[in-house]
C-alpha cells in the first residue's frame, strides 16, 4: 500500500514526500483511516512501529480541515518522558511543515519561563509530560476547555511511572466531547482499565504484539560471570566497526560506571538516566546522534522513546527485571524496518530473568561462543539463578566463609581475574583481546 492510497490532504502528502516516506507502516495503515473517521482508537504498538505518525498525520488533517484558527489549544498529547515528548514535538514539526500549526512541548526538569511564554503566545498543539502540565494548569498558564483531540502515548509506561493520578486529573479538565486516542506498547488489565475510563467505543488496532520480538533483530546471549562483564563488553565493542551502540543497565549508578569505564578505554561514551539534567540528556543524545560519542549507556526509563534510526547494536549489560523491557530495549535497533543486533550479557544471578524473557518472546536466544563463557551462568538454577537478596549484608567480613555456590563462584572468579590481569600487565605484549564471537547451537 502507498500513502497516496490513503486520503491524506496535500500539505501532509507533501511533508511525507519530504520525509521520504512512501508506504504506511502497519499501524499507520490501520489507525489513520479510523482516526480520520473521527473514531476513538485504542492502539497497541511499540515505539519503532511508526505510531507517532499514525496519530499525528490524521490529527493534523482533522485540525486542518476544520480550519479553525483559534488562539487556544486544540490538541493535547501526553507522554511519559521528556525525551518522548520532545521527539513527538520534532515529528509534528516534520509532518506538519505545510500545515503550519503552532505547537509547544512542556516538560519538567527545566525552568518553566519559556514554556509559559510559548503558551502565552497561543498554541494549537500541546505535547506534555503530566507533572509539569498539571503545575502550569494549576498556576493558570494553560486552559484545556478547547481541546478537541487527546492522545495518550505509552500509557503502559505512564502507569509504570506512577503518573496515572496526574493523567486522570488532567483528563478531568478536558471537554467531554472530544476524540481520544490511546497508545500502549503492552496490554495488561490496568492498561485496559485506564483505556476504558476515557475512550468511547474505541476501535482497537494492534501491531507487533509484545511477545513477538522484532523479527529482524539478530539476538545473542553471552553467558559470563559478573566480574568479567566489563572486559567482555570491550571485547564485543572494540573489534566491531560499530557507529553507535546503546548499552542498557538496570541502575543509574551502573550506567555512569560503564560510561566512565568505556571512556577510560578510549571509547567515547556518555550515560543518560533520570538523575541527569535535561540539558545533559539533550547533549548526550545529540552527541550520540551526531556520532561524536559511540556508546550511550542508558537505564530503561531514560531510553524510552529514544528515536535514533541508525543504532546498529544494543547491548544489555544487565538484563531487565521485567521481560517486556527486553523487547523495548532491543526495539531501539532495527528501527523502521532496518536490521539490527541485540546482545545480552547474562551472569548466573540473571539466569531466571533470561528464562522469563525467552518465555515471553517464545524463543531461545542463541548462545554466543566466547573466551569468557561461564558454564556456571548458563546452567544456574534455583537460588543461583536469582539475585541474592542479602548480598549487601554479605559485603562485610563474614562473607568469606558463607554464601551460596554462586557467590563462592564469583569470589573465586574475581580472584582468578585479578591474577590473570596482574600477569597480563606484566607482559602486555601477550595480551590478546581479539575474541571470536560465534554462535553456538544449543
Ligand atoms: P515511531 O514508532 O513513531 O517512534 O517511529 C519510528 C521511526 O520510523 C521514526 O524514525 C520515523 O521517522 C520512522 N517512520 C515512521 N513512519 C514511517 C514510514 N511510513 N516510512 C518510513 N519511516 C517511517
CATH number at residue 50: 3.40.50.300
Q: Is the distance from the beta carbon of residue 332 to the nearest atom of ligand 1 less than 6 Å?
A: no
- For residue 280, give the 3-state DSSP assignment: helix
Question: Are 297 and 185 contained in the same domain?
Answer: no
CA atoms within 13 A on the CB side of 343: 25
Question: d(Cα 80, Cα 82) in Å, to the nearest integer?
Answer: 7
How many domains does the chain divide into?
A: 2
Give distance in angstroms: CA of 104 to centre of ligand 1. Answer: 21
CA angle, 329 as apex, 108 and 304 as ends, to 5°?
A: 15
Domain C-terminal end among 206, 235, 267: 206
Q: What pLDDT, on a 0 to 100 scale, did the predictor assign at position 389?
A: 64
Residue 65 has what DSSP assignment? H
Question: Are 253 and 288 contained in the same domain?
Answer: yes
**Given the CA of residue 91, which atom of ligand 1 is nearest to it?**
12
Q: Is the distance from the beta carbon of residue 17 to the nearest atom of ligand 1 less than 6 Å?
A: no
Q: Judge whether 427 lies within some domain.
A: no
Question: Are 202 and 223 contained in the same domain?
Answer: no
Question: Are 157 and 73 contained in the same domain?
Answer: yes
- Which regions of the chain are under pLDDT 70? 69, 208-215, 240, 301-309, 334-339, 389-442
Give distance in angstroms: CA of 183 to centre of ligand 1. Answer: 15
Q: What pLDDT, on a 0 to 100 scale, did the predictor assign at position 335?
A: 62
Residues listed for the chain: 442
Question: Are 146 and 252 contained in the same domain?
Answer: no
Q: What pLDDT, on a 0 to 100 scale, did the predictor assign at position 59?
A: 97
Range of the domain at 344: 217-384
Q: What pLDDT, on a 0 to 100 scale, did the predictor assign at position 276?
A: 79
Q: Sign of the C-alpha dihedral, residues 145, 40, 300, 158?
A: positive
Q: Is the distance from the beta carbon of residue 336 to the nearest atom of ligand 1 less than 6 Å?
A: yes
Nearest CA to ligand 1 atom 19: 24
Backbone angles phi, psi at 86, to 5 degrees: -65, -40
Nearest CA to ligand 1 atom 11: 50
Domain C-terminal end among 384, 407, 432: 384
Question: d(Cα 121, Cα 333) in Å, to the nearest integer?
Answer: 39
Contact indicator for 96, 170 with CB cutoff of 8 Å: no
Question: Are 144 and 196 contained in the same domain?
Answer: yes
Nearest CA to ligand 1 atom 14: 50
Give distance in angstroms: CA of 24 to centre of ligand 1. Answer: 9
Question: Are 115 and 241 contained in the same domain?
Answer: no
Nearest CA to ligand 1 atom 10: 309
Q: Is the distance from the beta carbon of residue 73 to the nearest atom of ligand 1 less than 6 Å?
A: no
Domain C-terminal end among 206, 228, 252: 206
β-partners of residue 269 are 295
Q: What pLDDT, on a 0 to 100 scale, did the predictor assign at position 200?
A: 92
Q: Judge whether 417 lies within some domain.
A: no
Question: Are 35 and 163 contained in the same domain?
Answer: yes
Nearest CA to ligand 1 atom 17: 50
Q: Sign of the C-alpha dihedral, residues 421, 423, 425, 427?
A: negative
**Grid cell at residue 128:** 506534555
Amino acid at each position: 500500500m502507498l500513502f497516496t492510497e490513503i486520503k491524506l490532504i496535500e500539505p501532509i502528502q507533501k511533508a511525507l514526500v519530504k520525509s521520504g516516506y512512501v508506504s504506511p507502516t502497519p499501524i499507520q495503515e490501520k489507525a489513520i483511516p479510523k482516526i480520520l473517521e473521527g473514531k476513538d482508537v485504542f492502539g497497541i504498538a511499540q515505539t519503532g512501529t511508526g505510531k507517532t505518525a499514525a496519530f499525528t498525520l490524521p490529527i493534523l488533517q482533522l485540525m486542518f480541515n476544520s480550519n479553525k484558527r483559534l488562539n487556544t489549544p486544540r490538541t493535547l498529547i501526553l507522554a511519559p518522558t521528556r525525551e518522548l515528548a520532545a521527539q513527538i514535538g520534532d515529528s509534528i514539526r516534520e509532518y506538519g511543515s505545510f500545515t503550519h500549526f503552532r505547537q509547544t512541548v512542556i516538560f519538567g526538569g527545566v525552568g518553566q519561563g519559556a514554556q509559559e511564554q510559548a503558551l502565552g503566545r497561543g498554541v494549537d498543539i500541546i505535547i506534555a509530560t503530566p507533572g509539569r502540565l498539571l503545575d502550569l494548569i494549576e498556576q493558570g498558564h494553560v486552559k484545556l476547555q478547547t481541546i478537541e483531540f487527546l492522545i495518550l502515548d505509552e500509557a503502559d509506561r505512564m502507569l509504570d511511572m506512577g503518573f496515572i493520578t496526574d493523567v486522570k486529573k488532567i483528563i478531568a479538565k478536558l471537554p467531554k466531547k472530544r476524540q481520544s486516542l490511546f497508545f500502549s506498547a503492552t496490554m495488561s488489565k490496568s492498561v485496559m482499565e485506564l483505556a476504558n475510563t476515557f475512550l468511547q467505543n474505541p476501535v482497537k488496532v494492534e501491531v507487533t504484539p509484545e511477545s513477538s520480538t522484532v523479527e529482524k533483530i539478530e539476538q545473542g546471549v553471552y553467558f559470563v560471570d559478573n566480574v568479567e562483564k566489563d572486559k567482555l563488553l570491550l571485547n564485543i565493542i572494540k573489534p566491531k566497526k560499530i557507529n553507535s551502540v546503546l548499552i542498557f543497565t538496570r541502575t543509574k549508578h551502573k550506567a555512569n560506571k560503564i560510561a566512565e569505564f568505556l571512556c577510560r578505554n578510549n571509547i567515547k561514551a556518555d550515560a543518560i538516566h533520570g538523575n541527569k539534567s535535561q540539558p545533559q540528556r539533550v547533549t548526550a543524545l545529540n552527541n550520540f546522534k551526531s556520532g561524536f560519542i559511540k556508546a550511550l549507556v542508558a537505564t530503561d526509563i531514560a531510553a524510552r522513546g529514544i528515536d535514533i534510526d541508525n543504532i546498529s547494536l544494543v547491548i544489555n549489560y544487565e538484563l531487565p527485571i521485567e521481560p517486556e523491557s527486553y523487547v523495548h530495549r532491543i526495539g531501539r535497533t532495527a528501527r523502521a524496518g532496518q536490521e539490527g543486533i541485540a546482545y545480552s550479557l547474562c551472569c548466573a544471578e540473571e539466569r531466571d530473568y533470561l528464562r522469563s524473557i525467552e518465555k515471553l518472546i517464545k524463543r531461545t536466544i542463541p548462545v554466543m561462543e566466547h573466551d569468557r563463557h561461564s558454564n556456571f551462568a548458563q546452567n544456574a538454577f534455583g537460588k543461583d539463578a536469582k539475585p541474592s537478596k542479602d548480598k549487601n549484608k554479605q559485603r562485610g567480613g563474614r562473607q568469606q566463609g558463607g554464601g551460596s555456590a554462586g557467590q563462592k563462584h564469583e569470589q573465586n572468579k574475581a580472584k582468578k581475574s585479578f591474577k590473570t590481569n596482574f600477569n597480563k600487565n606484566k607482559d602486555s605484549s601477550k595480551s590478546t583481546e581479539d575474541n571470536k564471537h560465534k554462535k553456538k547451537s544449543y
